[in-house]
Amino acid sequence: MIIGIDGNEANIVNRVGIGEYAFELLFNFEKISSICKLNQRQVKFYIYLKDSPLSHMPKERNGWSYRVIGPKKLWTQIALPIDLYLHRLVDVFFTPTHYSPRFSPIPTAVSIMDISYIMYPNLFKKKDLYQLINWTKYSIKNAKKIFTISNASKNDIINHYKLIAEKVVVTYPGIKKFMINEKKSINEQKKDYILFVGTLQPRKNIARLIEAFSYVIEKNKNLNLVIVGKKGWQYEEILTSPIKWGIEDNVIFKDFVTDLELESLYSNATCMVLPSLYEGFGLPVLEAMKHNCPVIVSNVSSLPEVGGDAVLYINPEDPYDIAEKINKIISNGTLRNSLIAKGKKQFKKFSWEKAARETLNVLEEMNK
């Protein structure tokens, strides 16, 4: 069996979200296929790219090949489907994004992380919203299988697009392997800080977190809020919120950080807060748990699936509730230690290798 994969989201340096999802699946596909056979059949891969593979991508070998094609403009709409049609090198094609090749002659599977663009359209740029709505609709209509990352997302997809349940498959993500497992200090800040990790965009509810934090530091003057994440869209209100609440000296914005820096930030934080209005999964929850960091998350969408009983839940639309839960973590050492212990068990339930194996099983079924 030969599987074709759109590897472009994995073939970038600073990967977040869907880029990390794509890379981890590719990495584990290569690992699995190099040491075993799937159901007694040899699996081979063609990874389709716009640009040459970067150094972090798995190395080419027999059974693992890169196919760089162009033109780059409208690649999914023109270059990819033409190549698939003319050469017919693969049995099935998988794209770990919302955008499948147009008019693909090959049975295709796509991944849909979530449908936040449907649930909260006002939180997206018009151009991005148009593309997400229309391209995703086309991909879902023409895909043989759809992968998603939580049961909450699966239910949303089924209900909105009127699909049969069997067409949508849940494969839970894992967490990336960090470089170290030791606590390290962060020079530019004190150890007393609350952490947020995620793209700066309205859906992440960061402005309301900043408001909540302004209530917390009324009694904790030396506490900081560290916000880690690249700028997404409509981030202006987020950047100005500390000024609005008069706490600009206590809020630290850090753009993309290395794995080493991120591990240190998790390990030394008082707690990590993810107050999102909607999440397809929420990988920072598991990353924080791995590094003995207590977690506070919203009680919405997929987050209860990820957090289980190992987190504190908040109403994401109530800044006073967010502030109250942060204060609980600060003041109650027994609660903090309990959440850390439960988190150590919870994050181990999720594995990228397991996600890759489950994905490969479905792709093989598509070829029967």
Residues 155-200 pLDDT 10s: 999 999 999 999 999 999 998 776 444 444 444 444 599 999 999 9
pLDDT given for residue 35 in this prediction = 67
Backbone angles phi, psi at 265, to 5 degrees: -65, -45
DSSP, residue by residue, 246-277 = T-GGGEEEE-S--HHHHHHHHHH-SEEEE--S
- Return the CATH number of 193-349, one of 3.40.50.2300, 3.30.70.270, 2.40.50.140, 3.40.50.2000: 3.40.50.2000
pLDDT given for residue 190 in this prediction = 47
CA gap 293, 289 in Å, rounded? 5
Residue corresponding to tokens 């500390």: 242
DSSP 3-state of 188: coil
DSSP 3-state of 180: coil
DSSP, residue by residue, 54-101 = PTTSPPPBTTEEEEE----TTTTTTHHHHHHHHH---SEEEESSS-PP
Check residue 201 and report its DSSP letter: S
Every domain of the chain and the residues it spans: 2-174+351-366, 193-349
User: Is domain 2-174+351-366 given the CATH code 1.10.10.10 in the classification?
Assistant: no
pLDDT given for residue 36 in this prediction = 58
Q: What is the pLDDT of residues 303-346, one digit of tens each?
A: 999 999 999 999 999 999 999 999 999 999 999 999 999 999 99
Residue corresponding to tokens 């479905």: 362
**312-314 sheet: strands from edge to edge:** 251-254, 224-228, 193-197, 271-274, 295-298, 312-314
Structure tokens, 212: 């909540």
pLDDT given for residue 191 in this prediction = 58
Most confident of 39-43, 149-153, 174-178: 149-153
Q: What is the pLDDT of residues 97-147, one digit of tens each?
A: 888 998 888 999 999 999 999 998 988 888 889 989 999 999 999 999 999
The 10 Å Cβ neighbour count of residue 180 is 11
CA gap 295, 151 in Å, rounded? 21
Domains 2-174+351-366 and 193-349 belong to one CATH topology: yes
The sign one gets for the Cα dihedral 181, 186, 191, 197 is negative
Q: What is the pLDDT of residues 292-314, one digit of tens each?
A: 999 999 999 999 999 999 999 99
pLDDT given for residue 123 in this prediction = 81
The 10 Å Cβ neighbour count of residue 146 is 22
pLDDT given for residue 51 in this prediction = 96
pLDDT given for residue 234 in this prediction = 86
Structure tokens, 358: 């489950």
CA gap 284, 198 in Å, rounded? 8
DSSP alpha helix (H) spans, the chain: 18-35, 79-87, 116-119, 126-142, 151-161, 206-216, 236-244, 259-268, 283-290, 303-307, 319-331, 333-346, 352-366
The per-residue pLDDT of the chain, averaged, comes to 91
